[in-house]
Homo-oligomer: A and B are copies of this chain.
């Protein structure tokens, strides 16, 4: 039982605060012999890091990762490899600017965890949100790289991708969905036209000191049928937990998702045929999961990210001592935190699948 650990056999324990000296994680349970080096992790971190466009926080963090353990380069192997021992990753914080946050020491920012941390612990590291900051998600992205290697090792061919399908009132057109587009715009939009709408909406929000919510879609393709487990270890239950644990997420759905409430039995259940000698589903309302176990179709999860609560409009709040007041949060923030949540969602899907791959191997491999 650990509040800062994710996973059962592929376990990631993260630590660190937004404005402490460093953040990091320890990855335990990784199979031995996998090629792993810091630059590979760095490449993934660079996709999430702050300061990459005007639509994400202007905090300047190089997010340089170091591997402190669990990897060894024997002269008999071709480059560094995992040894089966815990992998310790550390990322130093560089651009903390703690003074930016001094005025939130005594006031609770609405929509943030300031009030709830004080309620729970009687005390909080208020610098940049401390432990509740989305800075923690850098560790998830780093661990996700290792998770992907574990998946590749056990079930080669699984591809996990993420995109944004909605920002504020703008949604993508499913007819124009193209994964290749997601790397061509700063919003991970799979629809080039929607990317323009996203940009316009965010530009407006940014100028107004406002912010917008977003809907992220994560798809894992190529996973075999039979991955997952019944009852409380269901693949979709763990995806739900994984995505909901990302900062600012308020809802998660699989396949038809919330829309399933409005369907009839005929519309919903995916019929099955044989194609190329393999089971072939005629639709994917299940989102690739039945009874908590994968069907072999795409595993499709979507999650809603609320607009960041750090906005320039004064908001009613209270002080730590219970006095009514107002607050404007002047930090360097993202007008749409959903944008940086895409690589985090991809990483969380990888963590769930890697963990389930090991669990499957243990019981049924």
Contacts and interface: CB of A to CB of B under 8 A. Distances in A.
A218 interface: no
A213 B15 contact: no
Contact of A260 (B124, B213, B270, B322): B213
Interface stretch (A47-55, A176-184, A185-193, A251-259): A251-259
Given A85-B131, A240-B241, A290-B115, A264 B123 contact: no
Contact of A245 (B23, B119, B231, B338): B231
Contacts of A260: 213, 250-251, 304-307
B4 A8 contact: no
A316 B271 CA distance: 5
A200 to B, nearest CB: 14
Contacts of A16: 68-69, 86, 88
Interface stretch (A57-65, A155-163, A222-230): A222-230
Nearest to A238: B241
A14 B87 CA distance: 10
Contact of A315 (B72, B86, B271, B279): B271
Contact of A123 (B68, B77, B122): B77
Given A274-B318, A362-B358, A232 B28 contact: no
A237 interface: yes
Contacts of A6: 232
Interface in A261-290: 261-274, 277, 279, 282, 285-287, 289-290
Contact of A111 (B90, B229, B286, B287): B286
Number of this chain's copies in the complex: 4
A359 to B, nearest CB: 7
Interface in A309-335: 309-311, 313, 315-318, 322-324
A268 to B, nearest CB: 5
Nearest to A316: B271
Nearest to A259: B304
Interface residues of A, number: 158
Contacts of A77: 123
A148 interface: no
A221 interface: no
A340 to B, nearest CB: 15
A250 B30 CA distance: 28
Contact of A131 (B130, B231, B286): B231
B86 A15 contact: yes
A359 B3 CA distance: 10
Nearest to A17: B69
Given A115-B290, A262-B213, A26 B15 contact: yes
Nearest to A215: B261
A53 to B, nearest CB: 19
A79 interface: no
A296 B54 CA distance: 36
Contact of A120 (B13, B136, B287, B364): B364
A339 interface: no
Nearest to A279: B318
B257 A251 contact: yes
Given A236-B244, A270-B111, A32 B262 contact: no
Given A110-B270, A123-B74, A256-B306, A213 B14 contact: no
